[in-house]
Structure 1
Amino acid sequence: MEIIVTSIFVEDQDKALEFYTETLGFVKKHDVPAGEFRWIALVSPENEEGTELVLEPNDHPAAKEYQEKLFADGIPVTMFGVADIQMEYERLKNLGVRFTMEPTEAGNVTIAVFDDTCGNLIQIAQMNA
């Protein structure tokens, strides 16, 4: 068994698509109508056949509340791995991304947390040797 799709709730699918592709560098794999919203799935440019990240509209009241409470409590909704966290931190800061936690060592991993502008905090992590 393997994880093939995971999703995060977003306030605005268009804004999220722009941020996740143009700022973070993910690649759009699917963007198809799904009722009043769209099925938008992104993949890593390093593994376009890998796990897909779906930008799920937070239209349902439970989804919106879940998203708002995690954000308010400073809890990231997901984690992305990076090879060089300091380089990625600097790259994203230079693009105007707002970090709520600068790169911080936590045992055998270094983590940082940023605001995705779509209602979520996202953690990036680099495994330390």
Structure 2
Amino acid sequence: MKIIVTSLFVQDQEKALKFYTETLGFVKKQDVPMGKYKWITVVSKDDQEGTELVLEPNDNPIANEYQKKLFDGGIPATMFGVGDIQKEYTRLLENGVKFKMEPKKAGDVTIAVFDDTCGNLIQIIQQ
């Protein structure tokens, strides 16, 4: 068994697609109209057959509240792995990404947290 799809609630699917592809560097995998919204997924450019991240609309009141409470509590909604966190941190800063926590050692790993502009805090980690 393996994880093939995971979801991340976003406030605006088109804005999220632009941020996740143009700013973070993911690749759009699927963009299928589904009534008012779309089934939009992105994948790592380095693993385009890997796990898909669904940019899920937070239109549901429960999803909206969940997303807001995570953000307000300073809790990252998900985590992405990077090979060189300092290099990635610098690249993202140059692309206008706002960090809530700059790279910091946490035991055997280094982590940083940024705002995805779509209602989420995202943690990056170098193991």
Scaled by the length of structure 1, the TM-score of the pair is: 0.98
Deviations 1:58-88 (A, max 9, x none): 0000000000000000000000000000000
Aligned length: 127
> Is there any run of 5+ residues in structure 1 with no aligned partner, and where?
none
Taking the aligned partners of 1:35 and 1:52, their CA distance within structure 2 comes to 21
Indicate the residue corresponding to 1:102 in structure 2.
Answer: 102
Indicate the residue corresponding to 1:21 in structure 2.
Answer: 21
Scaled by the length of structure 2, the TM-score of the pair is: 0.99
> Is there any run of 5+ residues in structure 2 with no aligned partner, and where?
none
Indicate the residue corresponding to 1:119 in structure 2.
Answer: 119
Taking the aligned partners of 1:56 and 1:85, their CA distance within structure 2 comes to 27
**Displacement after TM superposition at 1:40 (Å):** 0.2
SS at structure 2 position matched to 1:49? coil
SS at structure 1 position matched to 2:22? helix
Indicate the residue corresponding to 1:39 in structure 2.
Answer: 39
Taking the aligned partners of 2:12 and 2:55, their CA distance within structure 1 comes to 9
**Displacement after TM superposition at 1:48 (Å):** 0.4
State the identity %: 72
Indicate the residue corresponding to 2:6 in structure 1.
Answer: 6
**Displacement after TM superposition at 1:35 (Å):** 1.8
**Displacement after TM superposition at 1:27 (Å):** 0.2
Indicate the residue corresponding to 1:92 in structure 2.
Answer: 92
Which stretches of structure 1, 4 residues or more, deviate above 6 A after TM superposition? none
CA RMSD of aligned residues (A): 0.4
Taking the aligned partners of 2:57 and 2:108, their CA distance within structure 1 comes to 34
